[in-house]
């Protein structure tokens, strides 16, 4: 779906590139050189839009591991995951006094 949505801006950039190249061929001097560069830049952007759409479609809906796999809400408030939501399953967990009133208080940690 994202590939088809990217065809609209890529087509517009391609048409604009051809228009700029056509108009620059009819001009002289520095304007002609600037028009050539601008036309080729429009073609380059159109190719980058298509390549980005192919990459996004091929990514399969997975998020990038560099930026994280959770949304903003989960980054702010913690992820809800059954495996990690139970604090007693973490290796350095301390007993929760509110959950178990008979549990002894945790030992104070010594400074390093």
Nearest C-alpha neighbor of 21 from the set 13, 50, 48: 13
Q: Does the model's pTM come out above 0.85?
A: no
The structure tokens listed for 58 are 């091929």
pLDDT digits (tens, 9 = 90+) for 5-28: 888 999 999 999 999 999 999 999
pLDDT digits (tens, 9 = 90+) for 62-82: 655 555 555 554 555 555 555
- On whether the CB atoms of residues 94 and 108 are closer than 8 A, the answer is no
Say what the pLDDT of residue 107 is.
75
Q: How many Cβ atoms from other residues are within 10 Å of residue 45's Cβ?
A: 16
Domains of the chain: which residue ranges?
A: 2-58
């Amino acid at each position: 779906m994202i590939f088809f949505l990217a065809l609209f801006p890529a087509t517009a950039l391609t048409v604009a590139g051809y228009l700029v190249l056509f108009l620059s061929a009819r001009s002289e001097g520095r304007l002609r050189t600037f028009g050539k560069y601008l036309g080729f830049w429009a073609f380059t952007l159109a190719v980058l839009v298509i390549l980005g759409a192919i990459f996004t479609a091929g990514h399969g809906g997975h998020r990038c591991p560099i930026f994280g796999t959770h949304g903003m809400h989960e980054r702010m408030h913690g992820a809800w995951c059954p495996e990690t939501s139970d604090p007693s399953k973490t290796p350095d967990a301390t007993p929760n006094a509110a959950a178990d009133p008979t549990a002894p208080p945790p030992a104070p940690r010594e400074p390093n």
